[in-house]
Amino acid sequence: MNLRGGFPLLWQQYAALLKKNLMLSWRNKTATFMQLFSSLFFIFLLFSIQKAIESRYAASTVYESVTDPKTLLMPPIPPCEDKIYTKVPCFDFLWSGNASAAVRRIVTNIMTNNPGRPIPKRKVQSFRTPSEVDSWLLSNPMRCPGALHFVERNATVISYGIQTNSTVVAQRGNYEDPTFKFQIPLQLAAEREIARYLIGDPSFSWTVGFKEFAHPAMENPSAVATIGPSFFLAIAMFGFVLQISSLIAEKELKLRQAMNMMGLYDSAYWLSWLTWEGFLTLLSSLFLVLFGMMFQFDFFLHNSFEVVFLVFFLFQLNMIGFAFMLSPFISKSSSSTTVGFSIFIVGFMTQLVTLFGFPYTQIISRNLRAIWSLFPPNLLAQALSLLSKATSNPQDVGVSWNGRAKCPPNNTMCVITIDDIYKWLVATFFLWFVLAIYFDNIIPNASGVRKSVFYFLNPWYWIGKGGSKVKEGGICSCIGSVPQQDHFTPDDGDVLEEENIVKHQTQEGVVDPNVAVQTRGLAKRYPGNWQCGCCKCKMTPPYHALRGLWVNFAKDQLFCLLGPNGAGKTTTINCLTGITPVTGGDAIIYGNSIRSAVGMSNIRRIIGVCPQFDILWDALSGQEHLHLFASIKGLPPASIKSVAQSSLAEVRLTEAAKVRAGSYSGGMKRRLSVAIALLGDPKLVILDEPTTGMDPITRRHVWDIINDAKKGRAIILTTHSMEEADILSDRIGIMAKGRLRCIGTSIRLKSRFGTGFIANVSFLGSNNGQTTIHHEAVKQYFKDRLDIVPKEENKAFLTFVIPHDREKLLTKFFEELQDREKEFGISDIQLSLTTLEEVFLNIARQAELESAAAEGRLATLTLTFSGASVSIPLGAKFVGIPGTESEENSRGIMVEVYWEQDDSGALCISGHSTEIPIPPNVQPMPSTATSQRNFFSRSGLVHGVVIDPNEINIAENH
Ligand SMILES: Nc1ncnc2c1ncn2[C@@H]1O[C@H](COP(=O)(O)OP(=O)(O)OP(=O)(O)O)[C@@H](O)[C@H]1O
């Protein structure tokens, strides 16, 4: 199939990723809704706060421009119920000095002459002295707004004093002014009636008017300017957190790695995210401004729409760039909320500082202003402050599009204009974007791989022919030398032969047309990690996961890599697919070296990979996955639909094509991963444990798919199912501890590494006594001819394992057995090779023994007969017990130790034989442990003496 390349592929990938982003946003409706419409909630809050501020000053004219102040003439004493928080029954006023007839007269006149409302007697209380008034007030709080205290000094002088409850109180945003409301009316009434009394003219005119100064309006305390920056920052944080978590989730779930393996261009990846987030930001900013206008904020109505919109759009876009830049530093998507919250708190504090005027004033240096402006929330706070100032009074016209580069008229000393803020926001956005791409390259990815810090200085990088060489470990892990790779000569003849063929072809430059992949001493060493305890840190030694792999993988064949956990199979695959860089050797895939950037990008176009773990988006359906990956791979757009349909049909997912992968079972996910790996007719297919979690029926079906897929391509398969390996593979390689231990067809491995042949003898149904006789006769026959006893037996059959060394005897043996079938009551004889599983277990055990011996690892053997504990090397078969020498057994006694492997493949003691005297002439083997001068191990246990099993055999034969 012809795959697209170059710009058409870039465009195709970009469009497919954009569609994927749209679908993810559509499926995650709550988050997208929050991102788009959270502004409505915050604008409503701002509106409520603005209304509260306005009503706080509703009774005041400070925020109004007063040019012709109104005169307040002779205000009446208000009823006490008008006082906020007065308790009823209440009094309009109290008075003292009731001993004086003149005073009583004056007070009566005050009550009668109150303008517009004569005060009834029950609403006034009289006292003799001011102290009596005080004690009444004390015991009757909030029952009267004021009191008058009269003293008749002589016939011409009557003095008075006033007491009022001067506490300013508010109710539902309305503030009460006690001076104008209670004090002045009381004062005017007292003075008017004293004057009338003293001059003896009850109609004496006493008109006093009050008037405030004419004044300009003070700047309106705008909710947008004061708390708006924090609210708008909170709105932007929704997009910020969602963006960071989407980027990190794709990295954490290795989705991005999977797309890269399929040949995704980084530029398509970043541009698709940028476009989609830019679009959401545009909508969100548009809604924000529209909501602001809907709630009739002067800020939104008087400033030009374009100016306000651009402030919010550029700010939110800048925050998205900031999120891009931070994402390489975060490894878990669950941390994105914490990061978002931290940024919000820091932004909230720096915005407060900005609103107090720092650093956008003449007296602060430009450099400091530049540094401060690097943090986007500060620029937003300053922009909002400028735009609020420009609309602080109803008559202000705000900032127009043409006036964006000028200071607002009422702020002629400004050091930064809205236009400057735009430029800063655009410039810093590009800075974040460039830094995001740079950090994305140099910070280790989910597989711990990164590029060099100076990768961009490599001219080849810019023309796409290099510079993408990757390293492992943190940025500071370059310190320390790389230890030399050990060279191991394979113990197995077949592995050695394969190695020699590959070496010969490499040296001679022979290109075998039948070889798809050639690994030339492929090696992988993982660097050590720092491990920190409570007071010290130490570097763990590097780990050699792959110790030189020399193999040819043929075309039209399936090569199965087997091996216990940690053998290095996935590492081999990761090296071949470029996920992890090799530390030694090379691999040539259809003529392309995995060590070259150009080679790797060619390889990505011809391979299909089914990774060990399903790398799928939960929110996308099977069909959408196939469309996306087919587009990334570069399949012609016209063919994508039909290819996806046939792939789904092939893996029996047609009915679930439109179901989201999150609801797929484990087996369905694996099938979808297999279908993705086979997309685009790849020349090399790598399947890492593809049938894990599948039921037997589905597994057999997938085997059929894999079998069919062999034609015209090479397949490398890893599995833990021996049955799968047996059925599917043309060649098998078993790895252990990073090395290839054996290689060949299934039959060859079984015959070379199995314990031998399995003979299954079934008997004719007859009476019990007869059956027992037949069983015993057959057992005796096997014992006499082959010296073996049954491994398994029941009424119907006997099973014998025949070692390889008796192979020569078998032809005659079975001829005779067949001749005597009737005599022995045999119904059927079946002969088969031992299973692949047995071969696998033997190889794994051998590898474990080798490594235990090399590392001198010890185990503790507890002797059942004496209860004593002896320290023995891991895997030792015959062990002499020190201190058991006696007259009877001059050389002491020994035991045979039985070993088994636990779930992790590690060797452990399962038991031991009865004690046997050590035969004469048997020499103890030198061992790491026993060669120590100290007879005791570090744990204080006695070291057992290792005895060579070959010597025991020789001694037994003698
Ligand atoms: N990034 C890493 N850093 C350090 N060691 C690693 C790293 N990745 C793998 N290893 C180690 O390399 C060894 C080989 O691992 P690998 O995944 O290749 O084994 P495998 O044969 O695929 O095993 P399995 O059957 O469990 O998948 C293991 O011991 C593993 O712990």
Cα–Cα distance between 761 and 766 in angstroms, integer? 15
* Check whether domain 755-833 has CATH 3.20.20.70, yes or no: no
446 CA to middle of ligand 1, Å? 14
Distances (CA, A) of 223 to 43, 61, 175, 220, 413: 10, 19, 19, 9, 23
Whether residue 526 has its Cβ less than 6 Å from ligand 1: yes
Q: Are 799 and 759 in contact (CB under 8 A)?
A: yes
ipTM of the complex: 0.97
Are 668 and 616 contacting, i.e. CB atoms less than 8 angstroms apart?
Answer: no
Domain 71-211 class in CATH: alpha beta
Output the residue whose Cα is nearest ligand 1's atom 31.
566
Residue of minimum CA distance from atom 25 in ligand 1? 565
**pLDDT, greater one: 591 or 6:** 591
Instruction: Identify the band that residue 482 occupies on the pLDDT scale cut at 50, 70 and 90.
Output: very low
Token pair, residue 316, equals 């939110």
Ligand 1 centroid, distance to 567 Cα (angstroms): 7
Confidence of residue 475 (pLDDT cuts 50, 70, 90): low
d(CA 841, CA 836) in angstroms, rounded, equals: 9
What does the pLDDT read at residue 883?
81
Q: Ligand 1 centre and the CA of 570: distance in Å?
A: 7
**Measured from the CB, is residue 613 less than 6 Å from ligand 1?**
no
pLDDT digits (tens, 9 = 90+) for 85-139: 889 999 999 999 999 999 999 999 999 999 899 999 999 999 999 999 999 999 9
**Least confident segment among 242-251, 512-521, 710-719, 763-772:** 763-772
Find the mean pLDDT for residues 576-597.
Answer: 89
CA distance to 147, 392, 928, per residue, from 183 (Å): 9, 34, 105
Mutate to test the pocket of ligand 1, among 472, 522, 546, 569 (most ligand atoms within 8 A of CB): 569
Q: What are phi and psi of 421, to 5 degrees?
A: -65, -40
Ligand 1 close to Cβ of residue 545 (< 6 A)? yes
How far, in Å, from the CA of 568 to the mean position of ligand 1?
6
DSSP assigned state of 660: B
Q: How far apart are CA 292 and CA 305, in angstroms?
A: 11
* Boundaries of every domain in the chain: 71-211, 220-442, 496-520+546-749, 755-833, 856-957
What does the alpha-carbon distance between residue 58 and residue 417 come to, in Å, rounded to a whole number?
Answer: 33
CA of 729 to the centre of ligand 1 (A): 23
Is the CB of 567 inside a 6 Å radius of any atom of ligand 1? yes
Whether the per-residue pLDDT at 930 is higher than 60: the answer is no
Distances (CA, A) of 897 to 36, 838, 924: 71, 20, 15
CB proximity list for 708: less than 8 A, separation 6 or greater: none
pLDDT value at residue 839: 83
Kindly report which listed range (24-28, 353-357, 368-372, 884-888) carries the lowest average pLDDT score: 884-888
Most confident of 40-44, 225-229, 231-235, 932-936: 40-44
Contact of 589 with 516, CB cutoff 8 Å: yes
Torsion of CA 945, 951, 955, 958, to 10 degrees: -170
> Which ligand 1 atom is at minimum distance from the Cα of 564?
25
The C-alpha atoms of residue 353 and residue 359 are separated, in whole angstroms, by 8
CA distance 255 to 536: 37
pLDDT of residue 938: 54
Contact 561, 519 (CB under 8 A): no
Q: What is the CA radius of gyration of the chain?
A: 46
In the CATH scheme, what is the code of domain 496-520+546-749?
Answer: 3.40.50.300
Reported confidence tier of residue 911, pLDDT bands at 50, 70, 90: confident
Ligand 1 centre distance from Cα of residue 545 (Å): 6
| pLDDT for the residue 144 | 94
Residue-wise pLDDT for 741-798, tens only, equals 999 998 888 878 877 888 899 988 766 677 788 889 999 999 999 888 888 888 888 9
Token pair, residue 275, equals 């476009």
Range of weakest confidence among 299-303, 343-347, 862-866, 931-935 = 931-935
Q: Is 481 exposed, middle or buried (0-12, 13-18, 19+ CB in 10 A)?
A: exposed
d(CA 754, CA 735): 16
Would you state the pLDDT for residue 928?
47
Rounded to the nearest integer, the mean pLDDT of the chain is 86
**HEC profile of 501-532:** HHHHHHHHCCCCCCEEEEEEEEEEEECCCEEE
Q: How far apart are CA 718 and CA 560, in angstroms?
A: 6
The pLDDT tens digits of the residues spanning 150-188 come to 999 998 999 999 999 887 777 766 677 788 889 999 999
Angle at 230 (CA atoms; ends 225, 233), nearest 5 degrees: 115
How far CA 418 is from CA of 408, 409, 635, 700, 903, in Å, comes to: 9, 13, 48, 68, 68
Q: Is 569 in the pocket of ligand 1 (CB under 6 A)?
A: yes
Q: Is the pLDDT of residue 876 over 90?
A: no
Q: Answer yes or no: are the C-beta atoms of 257 and 579 closer than 8 Å.
A: yes
